[in-house]
Amino acid sequence: MNNSRYRWVIVAAGGLLGCVAIGGMFSLPVLLQPIARDTGWSVTGISSAMTIGFLAMACGSLMWGTLSDRIGPRPVVLTGSAVIAVSLALASRAGSLLEFQLLFGVLTGAATAAIFAPMMACVTGWFETRRGLAVSLVSAGMGMAPLTMSPLVAWLVSSHDWRTTMQVLALVIAGIMIPAALLVRRPPALAGAAVTPGNTGPHRDMSLAQALRSPQFLVLLATNFFCCATHSGPIIHTVSYAVSCGIPLLAAVSIYSLEGLAGLGGRIVFGVLGDRFGAQRVLVAGLLCQAFGALAYAFVRELAAFYAVAALFGFIYAGVMPLYSVLARENFPLRMMGTVIGGLAMAGSLGMATGPVAGGLIYDSFASYAWLYIGACGMGLGAFLMALSFRPFPQARGAPALA
């Protein structure tokens, strides 16, 4: 097997797995109204399955990441792929709201977590050069879900009821993800290939307990939490904010779509910049820009201004996310990469869970979203200062490798 070529197969498999997995979980917003009309369940109750899903992802990320370190990424992502399909099929037959919340929220959310951390850890181990670009491409694949899987779900539900739609979606997910998971291989450095100081990572004798207690890990954990808390509220509530400014709903939804589309480019550009100038430098600059990008929403009222801010904000917040995996790979041993990235994913999921609740409370209290964006800016500045304080382990210092 030609490792230099097969590493791009790993990237493609990771992007595809992430896209389909995220698409399965984010089918719920598309199916929300059809489920409510058919069952009589409350919209709040149905949508809470997504909040449960985020919390399940947070709880599952560290567990799946640690397991991938022990048994390899393929069994983990294969299991996650199968469980996502099964959970959607079972949720389609739910007879009560609680049953739906448990099957879709807990099971689908926990299974989706089996994809992100193990695949990011796997990809970082396959690359010594172009690592930032590689993880950004995997992240971009995940970002394609709203542009591919969501339209598929909308097309299916236009001709079938929601239960049949979820059953068909489960078959599609199984048919794509299970074959893709079989392509996943352990990085050569962990699969019996020649081990060199360059491919096993810094501090090879560090224990897992030492890594998880290290200032480097704790700073990355806190930075990712505050980073995700920064963009969670604006992502969730900007459509509602635009509608409150008098913008028609369809046009307001297009703001969100533009934000997601800009994020695809941001992931690639930030990955290339990270390879060129160093992941930490690019992350610090990106977090500062993200903070003021969130604040900019508080000053816009017209559709054109919303579009401009959405394009900039989406480009930045999506772009910085893959850089955490690069920093983890540069500072911790490869053999524990799943656990480290799983911990970061857990912190990010918890940060994402704050936005919907905080935005709702702020709007209910002040009848305005202004303080949401001001608060998001404060969170963003906190993330910026934390990233600025990050000090790599001595072995991780030095210029980044150029492709």
**Closest residue by Cα to residue 65 from 73, 53, 57:** 73
Structure token digits, residue 37: 């009309």
pLDDT at 399: 43
Share of the chain above pLDDT 90, in %: 59
pLDDT at 192: 57
pLDDT over threshold 60, residue 256: yes
pLDDT at 395: 55
**Closest residue by Cα to residue 127 from 319, 340, 275:** 275
Mean pLDDT of 333-340: 91
Ranked by mean pLDDT, the top range of 33-37, 112-116, 141-145 is 112-116
pLDDT-based confidence at residue 367 (cuts at 50, 70, 90): confident
pLDDT at 397: 44
pLDDT digits (tens, 9 = 90+) for 267-277: 999 999 999 99
pLDDT-based confidence at residue 77 (cuts at 50, 70, 90): very high
pLDDT at 353: 79
pLDDT-based confidence at residue 44 (cuts at 50, 70, 90): confident
| Mean pLDDT value across the chain | 88
Q: Phi, psi (5° rounding) for residue 361?
A: -65, -40
Structure token digits, residue 53: 């899903």
pLDDT at 197: 43
Enumerate the domain spans of the chain.
3-188, 205-393
Mean pLDDT of 254-270: 88
Q: SS in 3 state form for the chain?
A: CCHHHHHHHHHHHHHHHHHHHHHHHCCHHHHHHHHHHHHCCCHHHHHHHHHHHHHHHHHHHHHHHHHHHHHCHHHHHHHHHHHHHHHHHHHCCCCCHHHHHHHHHHHHHHHHHHHHHHHHHHHHHHCCCCHHHHHHHHHHHHHCHHHHHHHHHHHHHHHCCHHHHHHHHHHHHHHHHHHHHCCCCCCHHHCCCCCCHHHHCCCCCCCHHHHHHCHHHHHHHHHHHHHHHHHHHHHHHHHHHHHHCCCCHHHHHHHHHHHHHHHHHHHHHHHHHHHHHCHHHHHHHHHHHHHHHHHHHHHCCCHHHHHHHHHHHHHHHHHHCCHHHHHHHHHCCHHHHHHHHHHHHHHHHHHHHHHHHHHHHHHHHHCCCHHHHHHHHHHHHHHHHHHHHCCCCHHHCCCCCCC
398-to-121, 181, 226, 278, 342 alpha-carbon distances in Å: 22, 35, 27, 9, 26
pLDDT at 254: 83
Structure token digits, residue 141: 């694949």
pLDDT at 31: 86
pLDDT at 196: 44
pLDDT at 148: 83
Domain with residues 205-393, CATH architecture: Up-down Bundle (1.20)
Mean pLDDT of 223-240: 90
Mean pLDDT of 254-264: 86
185-to-8, 73, 182, 314 alpha-carbon distances in Å: 12, 7, 8, 32
pLDDT digits (tens, 9 = 90+) for 280-300: 999 999 999 999 999 999 999
Task: Kindly give, in sequence order, each residue whose CB lies less than 8 Å from that of residue 230, ignoring residues fewer than 6 positions away.
Answer: 290, 291, 294, 317, 351, 376, 377, 379, 380, 383
pLDDT at 203: 63
pLDDT digits (tens, 9 = 90+) for 139-193: 888 878 877 887 888 889 889 999 999 999 999 999 999 999 999 999 987 765 4
- The CATH number of the domain covering residues in 3-188: 1.20.1250.20
Q: Which of 87-101, 200-214, 301-315 has the lowest mean pLDDT?
A: 200-214
pLDDT over threshold 60, residue 400: no
pLDDT over threshold 80, residue 308: yes
CB 59 within 8 A of CB 147: no
Mean pLDDT of 56-73: 92
pLDDT at 170: 96
pLDDT at 162: 94
pLDDT over threshold 90, residue 88: yes
CA distance 116 to 14: 8
